[in-house]
Chains A and B, each alone.
Chain A
Amino acid sequence: MGIAIVLVLLVIGTVLFHLFSPWWLTPIASNWTTIDTTIDITVWVTGIVFILVNLFMAYAIFRYRYRDNARSEYEPENRRLEIWLTALTTVGIVAMLAPGLIVWAKIITVPDDAMTVEVVGHQWQWTYRFPGQDNQFGTTDPTHFSPDNPFGMNPDDPAGQDDILVISNQVHLPVDKSIKVILRSKDVLHNFAVPQFRVKMDMVPGMVTYFWFTPTRTGAFDVMCQELCGMGHHLMRGKVVIEEENGFQSWLDSQSTYRQIRAQQVADINTGKQLYAVCTACHGPSGEGNQNLNAPAIAGLDAEYVARQLDYFRRGIRGGPESGSQSQQMAAMAGTLADDQAVRNVAAYIASLSPASPDRTLAGNPEKGEAIYRNCAVCHGTQGQGIWTTGAPRLTGVDDWYLAGQLQQFRSGLRGRHPEDAYGAQMVAMAAFLNGEGAIQDVVAYIGTLQDSGSETKQLARGK
């Protein structure tokens, strides 16, 4: 008896929840309104079945509840009824399937005039490539992957020279133009998904996958990886900015081609050494750092990481008005560097210095820290050596007070909140679970015990 009432209430409640739910398909931003239509048809068909069958069941339970003097009807089967029900079900199924298959045929047929963009994913970043003037992508191969060639471009392929490489998790695309998205992964499975576009596809290492769509409104949309890709899966975010053709073209023109990137001058350590003179006041003549001045040891940090941070400081991505005073100080100093080449030179010099072995200044329990550190190890390496594909710097040879301070800053919002600081956003998310001073001290203490024996050989292997 009670259960019959509850079933009715559940049906009513479900319908009301459906009608008044603020959580529903995001406003569509692509041409695939037909997908939404198919969903609507499915909602109607399944909704009707849900309501009818459950209400019928509730009524049956109420009507035929147990009575001592009552008897069930003995009716082994009813062919007519069963055939009717089967036929009706089949009609409902066809009503959902047929439009689905028609739409699917469209989804897998890419229009001839579609422009192409390639998305290359790796743990846990997105990068993008456009085919350039010749409208043709250069060939790639995993054997070419290196920090200088993150796309694995074949250097000898003429078709690849004018490819436009976007080493950022943001991409711009033009509105109202059919776009074929080609997908590639460098390591594990990923999935390039923008909920507002409705379509998505896995990225599979060793093969190329694709989908196509036409953006129908401008705006910035979240890219989320939707295939579990390891510990940083939830951090693999990006943005697709849909804008008018003009804006898109000027954005595209501001990006570098593969030829331009290769033409960049090789970093000059000697020039870098001269530039470094300015830094010695705080960071010390051999990059050993000075805690009294809040200047961390920087000797031997990876050149790419140092260059990226200096670039952030120069552009206000780090050290802006909302960050701490020391960062702002550093931003001012970084501003004295003339151009990208100067940044690369000084970074190369810093990388060439032999790493410091700073003293322990903080108490912490390295054993507890080890359990925490395995979350860090996926990016920073099990020995704290840093991994170029994840963009994570080496952690050994870095002052513990500096690491602890930066973790605090990530947690408190002083660092990593700038929209262009993609790696910073990941650190913000990762630092968030380090609750309390104890956890930070513990993990920093564990990092202090790591010996990065492999760092030099790794540098060699990378051809530095």
Chain B
Amino acid sequence: MDHVAIADERGLELHEPASFITRYIWSQDHKVIAVQYGITAILVGLVALALSAMMRLQLAFPNSFSFIAPGDYYQFITMHGMIMIVYLLTALLLGGFGNYLIPLMIGARDMVFPYLNMLSYWVYLLSVIVLMASFFVSGGPTGAGWTLYPPQAISHGTPGADGGIILMLVSLAIFIVAFTMGGLNYVTTILQARTRGMTLMRLPLSVWGIFIATVLGLLAFPALFVSAVMMLLDHIAGTSFFMPALLSEGELTGHSGGSPILFQHLFWFFGHPEVYIVALPAFGIVSDLISTHARRNIFGYRMMVWAILAIGVLSFVVWAHHMYVSGMHPYFGFFFATTTLIIAVPTAIKVYNWVLTLWRGNIRLTVPMLFAIGFIFSFINGGLTGLYLGNVVVDLPLSDTYFVVGHFHMVMGVSPILVIFGAIYHWFPKITGRMLNDTLGKVHFWLTFLGTYAIYLPMHYLGFLGVPRRYYAMGDTEFIPESAQSLNVDITIAALVVAVVQLVFLVNLFWSLRYGKPAGGNPWDATTLEWQTPDTPPRHGNWGQELPTVYRWAYDYSVPGQEKDFIPQTVPPTEEESQEGTKP
């Protein structure tokens, strides 16, 4: 098992793994593991994308496709949701970008525990395989909705209640093991393996976002693990943790006394931090994209760090805003509505600071910048609709309607995905040494950005109307007008366009890998460490013989009196800077 020691300074033999297998398959190099995570997550995400296209077809043209029966539809929504949230977004942002960026941005040679890191990927892959296997068992995958609420998830009337749900729960448990392995690495590496001069307050915000998100994940995923284990026992061993006395197929099941609401508490104790596990890395990454391409320091860096910390702490005391109509004690409504609206303040500050970073900047409208701006717009929209659902009385009419669907797709579907795309366009040159094609990138951006807005904005209005979510077909009602159905057709057309446009992105990836313009080491004139590596793509061990030394923060763009409009973190101070102070 060849790997280099992490932060040894000089005189070491950088023996790279020789064979193809140790280099690309059983690799312990964080960059290879990152790409492995990325490819797996994108592949499984394409499955989830295809599922969403099927759902949209059914909603627009109900009963036209005999291959989308009600059971199929509920299986599609469940698998789509779970894959997108856990196996795509969490895995790609933390396993993918976390792995790639942390060591490069903090000036380390690799993760602190490279072997564990490799194991993390393979266990993640196992969880994906177990999940995908549920498509092929009798009864198919579970159709319980991604929230997997018992008793429904494990009782007769739900598709996949025999095999699918077991595989889903097992897969989640495996995923959590994989995440914990990775998470231990990220936290320890950030705390221990920073290079000389890299104080916490000199870290790029990407690292901050990933760091806090990982801490949240380490503490929150156990809640999902607990609920998965207990539900498995209820299903397999006949215990009654969550299962009260109830009828199934016309007979009592033998359970008694269990509390379905207990599951919801546990689930959302994981589920709400999960929103920020996805959002915080996206916040961090987009801050760096905006700053770099606006050629301006990120506005209010300290406030941004504090906001990330505040959001991280608060995210553990807002979970029950998902449960206003669950039948929990009504007094909880006061507490959770208040905490939920409080968390809007640090979130709003982040939005202001992104916009204020653009103000008085010198904005290069590159493809990553377009995606970043698209993110700000989508996130403002999704964040504001969150204020509706967080306020308990407003949530009453809107919960479980299409408003919720529109809201969470804007805020934790579209927004992080736009950041991920922006980040791929931004770091692809570092990963591969070649630029992605600009024209294809712009086509991809415009159709994705406008298309997703066309999908989700109208959904909010269906929600106001009272159209319930998770309905296979609306059927006949007094209050849903005909026009809602034609709106559904329009939404589906937009959704199909967006789905197809992702092919442009894939083509771009493959094409540019081979024929893209050579990028050079620092195509965006960025300051952070990953752009200062001696080789592009960085070799094994990242830094050649000597680790970089950091002299300044990550956002020295357009410093007055300097010739260039950026000063990399590795550049020693100029005369006047040294005079101005050694006061850190």
A–B direct touch, CB within 8 Å, in complex? yes
Closest chain B residue to A93, Cβ basis: B341
Q: Complex Cα distance A251/B388, Å? A: 39
Q: Is B584 in the interface zone, CB < 8 Å from A?
A: no
Query: What is the distance, in angstroms, from A404's C-beta to the closest C-beta of chain B?
Result: 15
Contact check, B294 vs A204: say whether CB atoms are below 8 A apart: no
- Judge whether A46 and B388 touch: CB under 8 Å: yes
A-B contacts, CB under 8 A, total:
370
Q: How far is the CB of B492 from chain A (nearest CB, A)?
A: 16
* In contact, B251 and A461 (Cβ under 8 angstroms): yes
Given known A-B contacts A220-B478, A378-B156, A66 and B365 have beta carbons under 8 A apart: yes
Kindly supply a per-residue 1/0 record for chain B positions 371-392, scoring 1 wherever the CB is within 8 Å of any chain A CB and 0 otherwise.
0010011001100110110011
Q: Is the CB of B349 within 8 A of A89?
A: yes
Interface residue A362 (Cβ < 8 Å from any Cβ of B): no
Q: Is A187 an interface residue (CB 8 A)?
A: yes
Smallest CB–CB gap between B322 and chain A, Å? 12
Q: Which of A70-123 contact B (CB under 8 A)?
A: 70-78, 81-82, 85-86, 89-90, 93, 96-97, 100-101, 103-105, 107-108, 122-123
Contact B461 A82, beta carbon cutoff 8 Å: no
- A23-B487, A64-B358, A187-B248 as given contacts; A75 in contact with B297, CB under 8 Å: yes
Kindly supply a per-residue 1/0 record for chain A positions 159-200, scoring 1 wherever the CB is within 8 Å of any chain B CB and 0 otherwise: 000000000000000000000000101111101010110111
Interface residues of B in 325-369 (CB under 8 A from A): 325-327, 330-331, 333-334, 337-338, 341-342, 344-345, 348-349, 351-353, 355-356, 358-365
**Chain A residue contacts of B391, Cβ below 8 A:** 38, 42, 96-97, 100
**A74 touches which of B256, B297, B345 (Cβ 8 Å):** B297
Question: Are A78 and B362 in contact (CB-based, < 8 A)?
Answer: no
Contact with A along B152-164 (1 / 0, CB 8 A): 1001111100000
Q: Is the CB of B461 within 8 A of A23?
A: yes
CB within 8 Å of A: which of B37-82? 62-66, 68-71, 74
Q: Could you tell me the distance between the alpha carbons of A107 and B392 in the complex, rounded to whole angstroms? A: 10
A interface majority secondary structure: mixed
Provide the residues of chain A in CB contact with B471, threshold 8 Å: 233-234
> CB-CB < 8 A to A39: which residues of B?
388, 394, 397
B443 lies within 8 A of chain A by Cβ:
no
Which chain A positions have C-beta within 8 A of B481? 22-23
Contact of A221 with B478 at beta-carbon distance under 8 Å, contacts A93-B344, A374-B159 already known: yes
Identify which of residues 193-238 in chain A touch chain B, using a CB-to-CB cut-off of 8 Å.
Answer: 193, 195-196, 198-207, 209, 220-222, 224-235, 237
Cross-interface CB contact of B246 among A25, A49, A186, cutoff 8 Å: A186
Q: Which residues does chain A contribute within 8 Å of B302, judged by CB atoms?
A: 77
Partner of B396, one of A14, A35, A49: A35
Q: A74: which B residues are within 8 A, CB to CB?
A: 296-297, 557-560
Which A residues are CB-close (under 8 A) to B394?
A: 35, 38-39, 42, 100
Taking a contact as CB atoms under 8 Å apart, the answer to whether B333 and A108 are in contact is yes
- Report the count of interface residues on A (CB-CB < 8 A): 121
A199 adjacent to B396 (CB under 8 Å)? yes
Q: Give the docked Cα–Cα distance between A374 and B71 (Å).
A: 8
- Among B157, B358, B396: residue with most chain A CB under 10 A: B157
- Let me know if B558 and A53 touch, CB within 8 A: no
Given contacts A143-B245, A222-B477, A433-B70, contact A17 B396 (CB under 8 A): no
A35 and B397 form a contact (CB under 8 A): yes
Whether B152 contacts A230 by the Cβ 8 Å rule is yes
Q: B257 in the interface, Cβ–Cβ < 8 Å?
A: yes
Q: Is B252 an interface residue (CB 8 A)?
A: yes
Question: Does B252 contact A143, Cβ atoms closer than 8 Å?
Answer: yes
Q: A67 to B247, Cβ gap below 8 A?
A: no
Q: Closest approach, in angstroms, between the C-beta of A2 and any C-beta of chain B?
A: 8
Q: A66-B362, A227-B400, A228-B74 are contacts. A82–B303 as well, Cβ < 8 Å?
A: yes
Find chain B residues with CB under 8 A from A463 CB: none
Cross-interface CB contact of A10 among B327, B352, B377, cutoff 8 Å? B377
- Cα(A2)–Cα(B443), bound, Å: 13
Q: Which residues of B contact A315 (CB under 8 A)?
A: none
- For the complex, give the distance between the alpha carbons of A298 and B349 in Å: 71
Q: Is the Cβ of B373 less than 8 Å from the Cβ of A57?
A: yes
Q: In this assembly, does A388 line the interface, its C-beta being within 8 Å of a C-beta of chain B? A: yes
Q: Which of A93, A108, A199, A230 contacts B342 (CB 8 A)?
A: A93
A455 at the interface (CB under 8 A from B): no
Q: Is B399 an interface residue (CB 8 A)?
A: yes
CB distance from A34 to the nearest CB of B (A): 8
Residues of A within 8 A of B245 (CB): 142-143, 205-206
Q: Which residue of B lies closest to A225 (CB)?
A: B468
Question: B191: which A residues are within 8 A, CB to CB?
Answer: none
Chain A, residue nearest B303 (CB): A82
Among B23-31, B128-136, B142-150, B518-526, the stretch in contact with A: B142-150
Interface-forming stretch among A270-278, A322-330, A434-442? A434-442
Contacts A23-B483, A233-B471 given; indicate if A57 touches B377 (C-beta within 8 A): yes
**Residue on B nearest A85 in the bound complex, by CB:** B352
Given A143-B252, A189-B151, A195-B465, CB of A202 within 8 Å of CB of B68: no
Contact of A22 among B400, B401, B483 (CB under 8 A): B483
Against B, the Cβ 8 Å flags (1 = close, 0 = not) of A371-409 are 010110010010000011110000000000000000000
State the CA gap A200–B401 with chains docked (Å): 12
* Residue contact A104 to B484, C-beta cutoff 8 Å: no
A201/B327 in contact, CB under 8 A: yes
For A333, the chain B residues whose CB sits under 8 A away are none
How long is the Cα–Cα vector from A228 to B303 in the complex, in angstroms?
41
Contact B158 A230 (CB under 8 A): yes
Interface flag for A305 (CB, 8 Å): no
A460 near B: Cβ within 8 Å? no
Contact assessment for A71 and B338 in the assembled complex, using a CB-CB cutoff below 8 Å: no
Give the contact stretch, choosing among B14-22, B258-266, B418-426, B531-539.
Answer: B258-266
* A interface residues, Cβ below 8 angstroms from B: 1-3, 6-7, 10, 14, 17-18, 21-26, 34-35, 38-39, 42, 45-46, 49-50, 53-54, 56-57, 60-61, 64-67, 70-78, 81-82, 85-86, 89-90, 93, 96-97, 100-101, 103-105, 107-108, 122-124, 142-143, 145, 183, 185-189, 191, 193, 195-196, 198-207, 209, 220-222, 224-235, 237, 372, 374-375, 378, 381, 387-390, 425, 429-430, 432-436, 439, 461
5 contacts between A and B (CB under 8 A): A61-B365, A187-B248, A204-B327, A372-B69, A432-B63
The 7 closest A-B pairs by CB, nearest first: A206-B244, A195-B466, A230-B157, A209-B327, A72-B296, A72-B558, A108-B330
